[in-house]
Structure formats: C-alpha cells, structure tokens
Amino acid sequence: MRFLLEHPAPRGLDDLVRSAQAAHAAGLDGVLVTEWRQLPGALVTAAAVAARVDEVLVAAEVELGARHPVEIAEEATVADLSSGGRLVLVARPAGSAPERYAESLDVIRHALAARPFRFEGRHWRVPANLPENVDQPEERVRVTPAPAQPRLEIWGAGEGRAVALERALGHLADAADDPAALARAFAAADASPASIGAPRGRRERWRSAADLLERLRQGRARFGQDWACVAAPAEAAPEIGSLVRPRIQLHRLTPGLEEFWDEQRPWERSRR
C-alpha cells in the first residue's frame, strides 16, 4: 500500500510545501493536488510543489473532457520534466463534458508517447487538418518533448472508473464510492492480464489512525486497494506513516509486532 497526502484546504504554496515535507518526513510517497478555488491550475501547483520538495511524488488531479487533451498532455509533460519525473496525472471527467472523457484520455495517452500519432474520434481530431491551415499540413503530430518517465502514470478518478479500467489504467476511487461496486468493477479487471499491477487507489477521510487502518484493510480485502490518498492535515502524517502504513504493507505481521509498536508508539516520537 502506498500513500498520498491531500491537503484539505490550502491557502497557498507554503501550506502545500508543509504538507509535502510532512509526507516526506513520514515516509509517505507523495501528495495529491487538485483544482482548488484559489489554486485552480493543478498542474501549475504540482510543478511549484515539486520544485520546493524533493523526491515526493506529486499527483495532480485535473478535469478531462472540456479542454483540448493535447494542451493538458503538454502541461503534464513539463510538470513531469521539471519535477524530474515525479508526476502522476489523475484525470476526472469534467462535469460539463463526460462524453468526451474516454477520447480525451486516449488522445493524452497518444500524446505522452514519444511518437507521431493521428487520432480521429467523434470529439477530437488530431491533427485537425483544417483546410485553413494549409501552409505546412501534417498527417501526424508529435507532442514534444516526451515526459521524463518512460510511462507517465495516468489514473482515472470519479465517474471515469469504467473507462480507466477498460484501458488497464490506474484508478482513484472516491471516499464515498460504494465498496461493493468497487469490488465488482475491480473483479472484472482481475480477469485481464493487462490490468496486473494497475494502481487501485481510494481517497480516504482522516478521522483517526484506527479508522483509516480499518478502512484500508477492508479496501484491500474487497477490491485490492494499493494506494490511499488521505485528506489530512500535515500533523497527521507521522501517525499515517508510523502507525498505519507499517501495518498495511504485508499480508500479515509477526505476532506481537503490533503490540510492540503500540508500546513504543513511534508515531508520537516522530511528532516531537
């Protein structure tokens, strides 16, 4: 199980940097940034956070469907390159254009591959070959440069679950999603070898370490959850990193180990 920390309500870059530093210090894999009201440009925010905090992954959640997917792919590429290959692109269907989600995702996947492509869908046509653009017509377009990562991680989110799973992409479920529905969706994906190892995450609300641990155990048992994106303040990071994370890594722990941890309480030590 891997962990992302999601700041519940950042006021600015410093809040996000503190959150990312807390994640780093607690051994969590990274942070998730999204389109907040004051900071609506998630891929701008992601690049700035990555510039301030080394080594953590930065997942950026963007709406997909309304904007041209080539533009989003370019922004993700530059955020990935400037962060040294630490971007995860989380794509949620735009409320205004859910029917464009699947095609948008496919255009982005073409665009992030280091080769020329042509895409002719119902909603997007790339290159468009508009009759007015006659100076240098191209059959195919190569989005440049390529991202730092050999395969930039793209996860679906929200209502995009079926589309993401069809494509063997990762998926970040919402905290409120029905666990039975998740179990059914991921069980179907289990039948496909292409889906082996595709990330299965869920957003989690922070109430207490015990509550989170219980949810993650259930998530793993019911649908194979292997990523947790926890909306929690930076102060919760030591408990997530020292109390929750070690207990959810393996199928089972040596008897007595949890009790030993409970005596030592390292999450309190690391907080001091």
Partner 1 sequence: MATSDRVGLSLWTMQSTAARPGLWRALYRRLGEDAQLAERLGFHAVWLGEHRVWYDGWCPAPLQALAHVAGKTSTIHLGTAMFLVPQHDPVAAARSIATLDHLSGSRVELGTGLGYRDAEFDALGLRRDRRGRLMDAGLDMMEAVWRGDHGDPPPVRRPAPRIWMGGMADRAIARAAGRGYGLMLPQTLSVEEYRRIAGDYRGRAARPGPVGALREVWVSDDPATCARHRERVGLHLTEEAGSWWALKGRFGFEARDQVDRQVARGVGQIAAGSAEQVAAALREVLDAGVDYLALRPVFEFVEQAELHEQLHRIADEVVPLLESAGLQ
Query: What are all long-range contacts of 15-23, with beta carbons under 8 Å and residues at least 24 apart?
Result: 16/45, 16/48, 16/49, 17/49, 17/52, 17/53, 18/234, 19/233, 19/234, 19/237, 20/49, 20/52, 20/53, 20/56, 20/58, 21/53, 21/234, 22/234, 22/235, 22/237, 22/238, 23/56, 23/237, 23/241
Does position 195 bind partner 1 by CB under 8 A?
no
Q: How far is the CB of 45 from partner 1 (least distance, A)?
A: 6
Does position 15 bind partner 1 by CB under 8 A?
no
Residue 41 or 266 having the CB closest to partner 1: 41
Does position 85 bind partner 1 by CB under 8 A?
yes
Q: How far is the CB of 202 from partner 1 (least distance, A)?
A: 26
Q: Which of 115, 122, 130, 193 binds partner 1 (CB under 8 A)?
A: 130
Element holding 66 (H helix, E strand): none
Does position 97 bind partner 1 by CB under 8 A?
no
| Of 43-51, 164-172, 237-245, 249-257: span binding partner 1 (CB under 8 A) | 43-51
Does position 126 bind partner 1 by CB under 8 A?
yes
Q: In sequence order, what are the beta bridge partners of 30?
A: 4, 57
Does position 199 bind partner 1 by CB under 8 A?
no
Q: In sequence order, what are the beta bridge partners of 31?
A: 5, 58
Q: How far is the CB of 40 from partner 1 (least distance, A)?
A: 4
* Coil vs helix vs strand at 177: coil
Burial 214-230 (b: 16+ CB within 10 A, else e): ebbeebbeebbbbbbbb
| Of 133-141, 177-185, 193-201, 239-247: span binding partner 1 (CB under 8 A) | 133-141
Q: How far is the CB of 208 from partner 1 (least distance, A)?
A: 32
**Runs of H (alpha helix) within the chain:** 13-25, 42-52, 69-82, 101-112, 161-166, 179-190, 209-223, 237-239, 257-264, 266-271
Does position 77 bind partner 1 by CB under 8 A?
yes
Contact code string over 134-153 relative to partner 1, x by CB under 8 A: xxxxx--xxxxxx-x-----
Does position 113 bind partner 1 by CB under 8 A?
no
Residues near partner 1 (CB under 8 A): 12-13, 35, 37-41, 43-52, 66-68, 70-71, 74-75, 77-79, 81-85, 124-130, 132-138, 141-146, 148
